[in-house]
Structures are given as structure tokens and as C-alpha cells.
Chain A
Amino acid sequence: MATQRLSRRLQVPNELASVRRGVDLVREIGAEAGMDEDDLFRADLCLTEALTNSIVHGGKDAQAPQTEIVCEVAGNWLRCRISDSGDPFDPASAEPPPLPTSLAVEGGAGVRLLHRFAEECQYERRAGRNVLTFVIRFGGEDTRFPDNWIERGPDRRSLKSAEPVVPAMAGDLRPLRERTNDDRRWNGFISRIRIFRGAAYSDLEPLLAECRRQCMAAGEVWLAPGERSPDVAVVLSGRLRVHVERKDTAPIHVIEAGHCAGEMQLLDGKAASAFVIADVDSELLMIPGDVLLKKMMVVPGVAENLLSILAGRIRRSDRLIADQVRAALELERLQRELKLAKEIQTSMLPVPPLFPEQPQVDCAGYMRPAREIGGDFYDAFPLDADRLFLTIGDICGKGLPSALFMVRTLTTLWNETARRRKPLRIVELVNRHLCNNNDTSLFVSLFCAVYDLSSRQLTYVNAGHNPPLIALGDEPFHWLASPPGVVAGILPDAAYRAGTVHLPPGSRLLLYTDGLTDAESVDNEWFGQDRLLATAESLRTGSMTELANGLVDAVDRFATGREQADDVTLLAFGTRD
């Protein structure tokens, strides 16, 4: 079967509508040549990028404000050539920019797309015009790459991948006539390396013989902070990523094939400041420092390229430093606000002594927030001349949402206790209020009790909180049985039941949160309920302040060497004659 050949040519003015005309042309010739939808898409995309670029940059010359498009098909190859008379701009060898790592950086996507979606992409300045050529291979019977389609550069007969096949030793030099296609492909690749752009290959060839090639497996570290390398590395295939400080942070920079790493540490003589790691299996060309500095720098073009790479890198690191300063200021502001939030939270708790004008009772509270702002609270205040209100609670989770939910819980409690005397009704209403607009699905375990001074009755409701400890008269401490109830803030119609107990003189009630029982020792053991019961019992005959302080001391001794993970909160209440 004869190799098919097709050709179309079009001159368009430098206006946006021309993009569509060029696209129609390439789609038409492509469809005629039998390209499938995906190949047409690629051809369309490459032409759109090249043409948009040429129309935007190429319209300055009033004499010939025309862009010319030539599309040709030979076998299963499509070549498009776009030429304009604008200022020189070379998207074919323009550096494909690093992938964006945040929304703050972007741009250059067009160049990247051209490089990735065309098999070949080449730019020339010819007779005062920019000429951009790209080649696409499409499905169907494989035919030979047409002769003379790309004037210089490597043999393209087996275009399986865009990566060059590098000879066993980078520096293996063969006489011109004995060179294989692989050698020539390698030579062609050298001319696309950023630092060698524009330099004559004949000047570089003997110097490349002094370099070596190194393979690195994905994840392998080439340079770590504090290290120095005698070489500058050029990525031949694969890519490197650069991390500041830690390997597991997001990379600040990705070094793609054709670009180099390590030139900063070589030039300033200081150790590397970042990790340089192979992102995928990669091949590097290692240029010894003295070869680069003493021999390559004198090759016309190389010094200029190196300076422009360095300028780009300095500009990037300036931006990075500015970002880091901004982040540090932001962090400082947040920490200040968190500290303030913690203070506000603590100021909502009652100030000791508790119930100073009630000689029949003794009461002490304690709360120590964990490092991160949390959501424990307790409160104790008289409802009227005869009744005292006691409560303790623990908001699930940590951080600002929990702290705000704690504030909401406390203010709701204050509202409801202003009008009501029965703990059952108070808990029911607090629960219902907290369920309203609770988008964050936070909840609180809550214990509320009302002590009647004249009848010595304690009425209490437990909404999912740890069982309190109680000691009646001279009896030892035991767990106070409470009717079961779910945590508040989840089910608006949850049913609660109240319990009652008579407190003879000398009784003690101990309310606490799981910051006590869940405190962990260095051996990863929990303080636990048994230890809590035993410790409380050993302190039973003292004052409530002694009981509270003694318990906190015991927990601190137990958890020595561990950071306090949760708020530690307790409320001790005792009756007297």
C-alpha cells in the first residue's frame, strides 16, 4: 500500500477567530487521514496552543500581520508548521514550568501541553519569522518517519518514548561515521538540556566524555541538607523533587528532564540546604564541578544559561521566603488568638471558694486545660436559698469548635437554671437547645445535680458522663449508680431519668472527666477507675480542696514524662453537720 500524502496550507490574519479556522483545517486533514477522536484532540490541542501563542505574540508587524499554517500528512504522521513574523518566542524549548503545587502558582501550561501531547516539537527563527513545527503520530499502520520533516535532531524511526536512550557511558565517544542512532538521539538530547542550550555540540562533546551517568531508584536521596556533592546533576530521564527541612513535606520544586540540580551548593561552596530526591526511577548526568566551572563555562552560551537558571532560582526562593514569613506571622496571630480563647474559656469557670456562705457544704473545683484548647468545664452555684447546682461536662473533640461548643453549653445551662429547679428538665432543655443548629455534630457528656440543703437530697441526671464517686456519711467511696442517658446535642427527644440519693453529714461526691482516668503513664498504662477509686478513698477524710489536689497530684505522678493529652477537670462536693 502506498504511503498516503496530504497537504493543506492556510494564511490567517492575527485575530482570535483564526484559531478556529486553523483548528478546522487540522481536523479536516486529520479526519481525511483516518485519525481517531483522541488523535484529533491532540492535534487540535497542539495547534490551538501554538496558534494562540503566535496570534498573541505575532501581531506586532503591520507589514505582514499574517500567520501561516501548513499541515501535512505522510503515512501515519501529521506535521503542522505555524509561522508568524512576531518577536522571537520559542515555545518548543521554553522551559516547561514546574507543575503547580498550590493555587498561587500556575502559568506556562500551554508550553507543557505542547511538549506532552506532540511527539516532536521544534522551533526555528527562519528569515525573520518564528517557525514552530510539531509532529503527531497517529494510529493505523506504522510507516517510516518522513525524511527531512525535522531538519536537525535525532533519528525518529522508533519513537516509542520521548526519553532519550543514553549510551552505556555518557562519555563514550565514537567516530562520527560509526555512531548509532542511539548515539545521535543522545546528542540531540544534549542540545535540549537547558544549561547547554545554544552551545555548539562540538565544543561540548569532549567535555561530556568527562561526565558520568548515574541511575537512581524512586525515593533515593541524592543530596540531604548539610551534604555537599562534587557534581552538578542533569536529569536525563525521570525527575527529582526538592524538599526543605523534611522529606515528608510537600516538595517546593520539581526538577524535570533537561534541568539541573546542585549548582547552587557547588557555586557558593556551602552545603546543600534541601533534600533532593528521585521522584521516580531517574537517570542523571553527573558533571564534575571543576569540569563545569573551568571547562564548560568558557563554551559560548553555557555561562549565560547558567546565570539565567540561577536568576530564576533566586527569584523563586525569594518568593518562598516571603511566603514563609507570611505563614509565620499568620501562625503567631493564630497562637495569640488561641491563647486568648483559652483565657476566655478559663474565665467562664467559677472562682473559688465555692459556696463560701454555706457552712453546711464544702466544695472545690479544679480544671487544667491540655496544651490544645479543649472543652471540659464544671460549675457550682446556688439556685436559691435552699438549692445548690453542680455540674461537670466534657465536649467531644478538641480545638476551637469544641471550645465554642463548651461556651454554648455553659450559657445554655445558665439560661435554663435561671428559671428551673429540676435537673431532669434542665438537662432535657439543654439537650434540645444544643441539638439546634449543631451542624458540626459535636456533643457533650454532662452530669447535673441539685442539692437541697434542707432535705439533704441530691437529685441528679447523667447524660453519658463518667459515673461519679460517692461516699455516704462514714462509708467508703463507691460508684454512684445513675439511670442511663445519652450524651447531649445529638438526639433532641432523648429521654433522661433522674436519680436521688440522701447525703448524711460527712458525705462526699466526686465528679471528674476522663482526663483523669485516661491519663497515660510512660508504660502506656491508663490511670483508670480502680486507681481513681483507691486514691479518692485514701483522701476521703480530708477537705474537698485536699481531695481535689491529692487526686491531681496522684495523676501527675502517674503520668510523669507524658504530655497531658486531655483536659483534667474535677469537682468535689462534701456535706457537713
Chain B
Amino acid sequence: MKMTIQQLEGDSILVGLEGRFDIEGAQSIEDPFTFATTTKARRVVVDLSSVDFIASIGIRTLFSAARAQSQRGGRIVLAAPSEMVRKVLVTAGVDQVIPLFDTVEAALVRGNAT
């Protein structure tokens, strides 16, 4: 998997993920992803638009980042999953606890406001 980090205004970051979020994918980004999303309280928008596959291990990675961030007082939101990735996230109940937005723009605007 590939990962990009874009600094946004304030202390927010936009983390872009690309590729298959399976066990190999999760391991390949684990260190940088954990570092970027959990070391300090901030707003993190995870752009899933280029993730073409996600398995339960990927969900676990998102979960632990969101949990660490909520303990620190920050917040993670997910944005722009493909239709099938969204189906997996909803089936696993991710949308019940991590805000999920259709577009990155919506995540930036509404994810910050609420």
C-alpha cells in the first residue's frame, strides 16, 4: 500500500491510502500510519478513494487509530470509500463509531464542524 500525508490548515492532516488494505497492505503502512494518526491529538481525514479493497485487518487498523486519537482528544474521519469498500465498512459497523463521508470535501467541512 501507498500512503501520503498532506498538512492542512490548523493541525489537521489528510492521509491518503492507496491499494489493497489486506494483511500485507496493513503491515506495509502500519508504522507510518500509526505514527501519523496517533502520536498527537489532531484532526485526521483518511481519504479511502484509492483503496480498492479492504479486509477485516484494515478495519482493525482504522479502529485502533481512531481509538488512540479519541483518547488523545483528537478525531479521525473516513472519506470517499468506493461502493464495495463502503459496504464492508458498514457491514462491520465501522460507520457507527467512526464518521464516514462520501467525499473528502464533506469530511473536511462537516468533519471539522461536528
Contact = CB atoms under 8 A, between A and B. Distances in A.
B24 A100 contact: no
Interface stretch (B29-37, B62-70, B101-109): B62-70
A38 interface: yes
Contacts of A106: 59-60, 63
Contacts of A104: 67
Contacts of B96: 99-101
A109 B23 contact: no
A116 interface: yes
Interface string A103-138: 110110110110011000000000000000000000
Contacts of B92: 99-100, 109, 112-113
B55 A45 contact: yes
Nearest to B22: A48
B24 A101 contact: no
B23 A16 contact: yes
A102 interface: yes
Contacts of B91: 112-113, 116-117
B88 interface: yes
Interface in A62-118: 99-104, 106-107, 109-110, 112-113, 116-117
A113 B84 contact: no
A325 interface: no
A16 B24 contact: yes
B57 A52 contact: yes
B97 interface: yes
B11 to A, nearest CB: 13
Choose among B60, B92, B96 the residue with the greatest number of A CB atoms under 10 Å from its CB: B92
Contacts of B67: 103-104
A322 interface: no
Contacts of A17: 24
Contact of B24 (A19, A41, A45): A19
Interface residues of B, number: 24
B27 interface: yes
A571 B58 CA distance: 62
Contact of A52 (B23, B59, B66, B83): B23
A135 B95 CA distance: 27
Main secondary structure on B side of the interface with A: helix
Choose among B60, B70, B91 the residue with the greatest number of A CB atoms under 10 Å from its CB: B91
A247 to B, nearest CB: 19
A49 interface: yes
Main secondary structure on A side of the interface with B: helix
Interface string A1-38: 00000000000000011011001000000000000011
Contacts of A101: 96-97
Interface string A412-445: 0000000000000000000000000000000000
A19 to B, nearest CB: 6
Contacts of A38: 83-84
A290 B22 CA distance: 48
A19 B23 CA distance: 8
Contacts of A231: none
A283 interface: no
Contacts of B55: 45, 48-49, 52, 110, 113
Contacts of A102: 97
B53 A109 contact: no
Given A100-B93, A101-B97, A113 B88 contact: yes
Nearest to B57: A52
B56 interface: yes
Nearest to A102: B97
Contacts of B98: 103
A379 interface: no
A505 to B, nearest CB: 56
A44 interface: yes
Contacts of A41: 53, 84
Contacts of B22: 19-20, 23, 48, 52
Q: Which 8 A-B pairs give the minimum distances between C-beta atoms?
A: A99-B93, A110-B56, A109-B56, A109-B92, A41-B84, A103-B67, A48-B55, A106-B63
Interface of B: 22-24, 27, 53, 55-57, 59-60, 63, 66-67, 70, 83-84, 88, 91-94, 96-98
Interface of A: 16-17, 19-20, 23, 37-38, 41-42, 44-45, 48-49, 52, 99-104, 106-107, 109-110, 112-113, 116-117
